[in-house]
Structure 1
């Protein structure tokens, strides 16, 4: 429960002005204390599914007794987590300034569009509606509402709270997945062999601007006819971009990685070949056998829930991600990002593994998840694995 969810008929600004700076800070601290206890109950609760798997690293043997974990995890702010943080967002404060200040060092946006996320309260974030969406047409909101009501999928996504308008813009409020973790390992993985919508590439007109973009990335990519015309279609360019990463061949690509005590790695386009993917994932996992097993079990659970869900039988899941987090005590993985989720025509059946052809609405989500699970199970640094070329 957040400050905003309690306001009901009383306007947000009215309440904030009555509290004043001192009252805001007091209220924020009180709510943080209450929310942390509720979060503990949430991930332990059986009815909502296991949002987290809890474990404790043992220094020597797997059979060594575990050190009891504290009843209520306390976040430890890190200067490194300010990378891509709140002061880079072009949002007016969605919660009080005092609340934002108290949480600014604990929160960061690993990847995605800068300015799309901002902390809203203890354990929640606001996500801005995708550019171009009409107020009456919000696919991400609709997807979260449907999945939150699905008995299979509600435990596989961040908790959805509400849709709201603030400062003339529209947001959805979601669970802050990083809340409660201590300088964790984080990985954002874009799923699917196709991460663009079919209607985005329906126009067959060849475009000079896309040709120029293609040449800048790879001068040898255009065909002779494309060089002669100095133009390529949107479909040609988008498929070329998918082939530049591991998306086209493996069904997923690693968007960003955050390791404890290090800034995030976000320039991972060259992590394309299977051995490079394995090396990157092995680096992310390190020697944490407990985390590897818990992550694999969680991804298998998500895959099983996905395949049982009526929602996924009737929708294409384009451009969505799997967000994986672990620290010394907890492991979590969730499906996120549904701005490009669309219902397929009634006469279309999708299995999320078949190759995409124009009109069949397949996106390869499960094709990629199968391969991701296999790599996480088997990835280990070896002489044959090459370190990925990345920049920080």
Structure 2
């Protein structure tokens, strides 16, 4: 029985429909992402996607609002290499793992409803409040900060090729230019977990670079910050000068938490059904650390053992990695997460990870002296493991 309505073969019609659906999803996602970063335009932007099936009027509207978007570009490149009317599996169709199609998968949710639901359930535990945004299913965009040198991107690229460490850090996908800002696209560590327990732990006995404290000029503004926290902290001389050096202030600040004593501090935590708890930087004594960790574990012995297994595995791999033997790791965190079914531990945040001088090998356990670049990462990881082992689960 012939049909006078549809003349194209069914695979071709399905592919054309899928094309239109993907184009619409990318456009919807772009608008939602723009709204998330609070960058409204002077007027509502019509679709920037150009496709041969668009009407002449629609093409004119799109031409008046030119723009570029990496996922759209990738998708359009992929579409140029295929024929909408081609048969499924034809020679000019690219494989699913082609970078162009992967780029679309990483940044274009199936629909705007999916992204809206993600924005409701997705959260940022710590860091700058506008530093992250959920991207495609399973990825996030992290805003690039600082000058021209993109240290964090280079570290993620290096670790993605390090067979020892690649499974211990979020997967790195690419760098993205969007609306004049630069982002790196990373694995969303929350993806696949259902209302999980999450903890961000800042590692090391030193969370500042040596270059940040090289100036010895005493500063009145840092003195005011110090006395606002503890009026008795400055020495007699510092009170008389009403100024302290950057090194003095940074060391004072780190003494307010467990950073100096334990080599780590609990930066933030989230429990199921509750907003993130971000005022934990003053957790200092060992009993306070144990108590906070007990709240996080909630009496789950099985979860504790799984977390310990992953932390110990991370320690072994970190010690074996030639990359970390020659790089100081400042301000990085261990990200622990679990729900009813899964447990995860990752090493994150590498904006202050730098290579040391040629020939220098770091222990990551020795005490810091100016010039030795030791930051105590492994000292802190040793203490984190022993602390979790010590937690009274029954409490």
Question: Which TM-score tier does this pair reach, normalised by the shorter chain?
Answer: 0.7 to 0.9
SS of the aligned residue for 2:268 comes to: strand
SS of the aligned residue for 2:346 comes to: strand
Q: Pairwise CA RMSD of aligned residues?
A: 2.5
Pair 1:281 & 2:320 matched? no
Call closer, same or farther: CA 1:367–1:311 in 2, change over 3 Å: same
Structure with the larger RCO, 1 or 2 (CA within 8 Å, 6+ apart): 1
Call closer, same or farther: CA 1:144–1:22 in 2, change over 3 Å: closer
Maintained 8 Å contact 1:140/1:339: yes
Pair 1:222 & 2:234 matched? yes
| Map of 2:75 onto structure 1 | none
SS of the aligned residue for 1:316 comes to: strand
User: Within 2, Cα distance between the matches of 1:365 and 1:239?
Assistant: 16
Q: Deviations over 1:352-378 (max 9, x none)?
A: 000111110000000000000011112
Maintained 8 Å contact 2:299/2:393: no
| Map of 2:379 onto structure 1 | 367
| Map of 2:124 onto structure 1 | 109
| Map of 1:235 onto structure 2 | 247
Larger radius of gyration: 2
User: Within 1, Cα distance between the matches of 2:381 and 2:212?
Assistant: 24
Pair 1:342 & 2:354 matched? yes
| Map of 2:392 onto structure 1 | 380
User: Within 2, Cα distance between the matches of 1:228 and 1:140?
Assistant: 41
Offset of residue 26 of structure 1: 11
Q: TM-score, normalised by structure 1?
A: 0.74
Call closer, same or farther: CA 1:21–1:162 in 2, change over 3 Å: closer
Q: TM-score, normalised by structure 2?
A: 0.73
Pair 1:133 & 2:147 matched? yes
Call closer, same or farther: CA 1:201–1:25 in 2, change over 3 Å: closer
Counterpart of 2:188 (choices 165, 173, 176) is 176
Alignment of 1:294-305 (within 5 A): 294-305=306-317
Maintained 8 Å contact 1:88/1:114: no
SS of the aligned residue for 1:126 comes to: strand
Pair 1:353 & 2:365 matched? yes
SS of the aligned residue for 1:155 comes to: helix
Offset of residue 89 of structure 1: 4.8
| Map of 2:344 onto structure 1 | 332
Q: Where in structure 1 do 4 or more consecutive aligned residues deviate above 4 Å?
A: 18-22, 25-28, 85-97
Offset of residue 314 of structure 1: 0.6
Offset of residue 103 of structure 1: 1.7
Q: Deviations over 1:297-327 (max 9, x none)?
A: 0000000000010100110000000000000
Unaligned runs of 5+ in 1: 1-17, 29-84, 384-392
Maintained 8 Å contact 2:299/2:394: no
Maintained 8 Å contact 2:210/2:370: yes
User: Within 2, Cα distance between the matches of 1:283 and 1:138?
Assistant: 37
User: Within 1, Cα distance between the matches of 2:358 and 2:385?
Assistant: 31
Call closer, same or farther: CA 1:358–1:187 in 2, change over 3 Å: same
Counterpart of 1:118 (choices 133, 142, 160) is 133
User: Within 1, Cα distance between the matches of 2:171 and 2:264?
Assistant: 24
Call closer, same or farther: CA 1:328–1:268 in 2, change over 3 Å: same
Maintained 8 Å contact 1:194/1:318: yes
SS of the aligned residue for 1:211 comes to: helix
Maintained 8 Å contact 1:86/1:104: no
| Map of 2:25 onto structure 1 | 24
| Map of 1:251 onto structure 2 | 263
Offset of residue 348 of structure 1: 2.5
Call closer, same or farther: CA 1:162–1:254 in 2, change over 3 Å: same
Offset of residue 382 of structure 1: 7.4
